[in-house]
Amino acid sequence: MEMSQEHAKKDIPPAEVTQELVEFMKILAEPNRLRIVQYMYLNSEHCVTKLAELIGITQPATSQHLKLLRQSGVLSSRKDGRMILYSLDRDSIMQRYGNGIRHIKQFFGKDTVAPSKH
């Protein structure tokens, strides 16, 4: 079944939404950063030491990933005594990347991908 050009154009997001998606995907494209986000999704907060242990990389490498995730608005941090705890910043994620995330949900909600046979 072929989609009309007019219908296809309606389903393609504006350039700024596409760029938003590209930036978000670049951030998550690194395996260790994606794992950090996955751990944060499953558990509310972690310190750098615990994350380094969970992921299996050095604390300095984990700190670099956390810095980038924080700068990009994916994570927020707070001090608890001498420890810094990191968590997902859902409000910032939706503010910065929400249009792109909504587009992905809408696009894949149209049964455009065949279910996995695993």
Domain ranges of the chain: 13-105
Sequence-distant contacts of 65-74: CB under 8 A, at least 24 apart: 65/30, 65/32, 65/33, 65/36, 66/36, 68/27, 68/33, 69/27, 69/33, 69/36, 69/37, 72/23, 72/27, 72/96, 73/97, 74/27, 74/37
Domain topology for 13-105 = Arc Repressor Mutant, subunit A (1.10.10)
Q: Is the pLDDT of residue 30 over 60?
A: yes
pLDDT at residue 21 greater than cutoff 60: yes
Distance CA 77, CA 85 (A): 5
pLDDT of 55-88, one tens digit each? 999 999 999 999 999 999 999 999 999 999 999 9
